[in-house]
Structures are given as structure tokens and as C-alpha cells.
Amino acid sequence: MTFAQRLAKAVSQHGPLCVGIDPHPGLLDAWGLPRDVSGLERFALTCVEAFGGHVALVKPQAAFFESHGSKGVAVLERVLADLRDAGTPVLVDAKRGDIGSTMAAYAQAYLSDGSPLAGDAVTLSPYLGFGSLEPALEAARASGRGVFVLARTSNPEGASVQCAEVPSGGSVAQSVVDEAARRNAGADPLGDVGLVVGATLDRLDIDLSDLHGYVLAPGFGAQGATVADLRRLFGDELRGVLPTSSRDVLKHGPDSASLRSAARRVGDSLEM
């Protein structure tokens, strides 16, 4: 099965919610955990216990693990392995982007069989040119994995780059959408090249009608986006949209049952 096919199956079972694992220092404090690797591990593995087998997609934020050095990366590797054992698709939120052999090395790390850092998909940044991502796209195709490419993010600084006009006309963000759509054409049910589009945008200034792929929509919940915002931006049907919630769910820790119940409540709020 392709990544998109596995994800479609998970969404049909659990709904479209993607839950983040963000071991932010403030959340470690709120859970009564130390700001060290032991606290990181307890936080992350509690999330695995809560969400594994219960949500469609889990998104660990790699930076919070990397900030603890090699021992933190080892915790991330265990998270990926444990979620794999639970049968839950995992999106590694690493936002990698580079050129040539360096991009190929990132692809080997996050998208190749046998790598302890490989989940089911990884986030990528296309702002060295979409073509620079080709090693990652090839690795994803070869291993049956997926990618989510930053297209139109909701941070204020993003617009200066993403809304700039390309020489052929249209915005940089739209060119990213169009490149992803070209690679997804003909896939069933959807393609493996997804996009990241912020759920807190004032308006959707890109055309996603030909994407034929998944859209990760961060910002749902604590960052302010509501179901009404999702429908305003993406349409009433919300097909292929994966709203992402982290803090709105994670604030209910450290009890794993409470975390699972919170994820269920947030997921239920997305039902049509």
C-alpha cells in the first residue's frame, strides 16, 4: 500500500485528526516533568500510549527531540518504532530542505527502509526550489512513504516569500501547489505528495482544486482555528484535509487516558 492508501484507511477508522507530539519545555513543566531527557521520554511515551491505535496520524516535532542531543534523538527513534508497532501512521515534522547530496542524505534518514528516523512521511521545505526535493520524492516513491511540503503557512513572515510572484505568473505558493499536483496526478485515492497549509490564514489565496493530495492544516484548536475556519478555507467537504492539534490535546496530560479522551473530543468536533 502507498502512504496515501494507508492514511486513507486510518482516516476512515479514526477520522482526519492529526495529533502532534510536541515536548515543549512549558508542557513538560505543566506535566510536572523535568526539562531533561527523562522528562522528554516520559512525555513522548505517554503520548504514544494515548494515541497509538486511536488517531489517524501522529506528528512528532523533531526539533524538541533534537534539542536534547543524541539521547533525545534516540527517544524519537523509539517513538517512531512504538507507533509503527501500534499500526499508527507517523509524520515526522522535520521540515527538511536542501540540495543535491545533502537532500539525498535527508531522504535516506527520513524516508528509507531501515532508517530508525523514518516514519511514514516527513515535512519538507521547498524554498530552495521544488526541484531540489527530488531526492526525497524519489525515496518516498521507492519506499511507499509520503511527504508534506510547506506551501502556504500562517506565520506572518511566510507571506513575503510565499505570496511573491514567480516570473511565469502566480505566487510562489501556487507554484508549489502546482508541482505537487503534477506528481499526484492519477493516484488512487490521493497522491503521496501532501501540502502544509495553515488553518489560521485569513483567506486561502491558492487554488487547491487540482492537488489530488492531502493537506495538513496546523493551527486547529489552541492557535485559534475552528471548524468554521476549516470550512471557510477548504470548503464544506474537507476531503483530504488533516486538521492538526497539539496543545489543545496535550494540555490534558500527563494521564494517557485523559489525553486519549481529549483527542477523541477534538476529533468528534470535526464530524460533519
Q: Which residues are catalytic?
A: 95
Provide the grid cell at 3: 502512504
Phi and psi at residue 257, in whole multiples of 5°? Answer: -65, -35
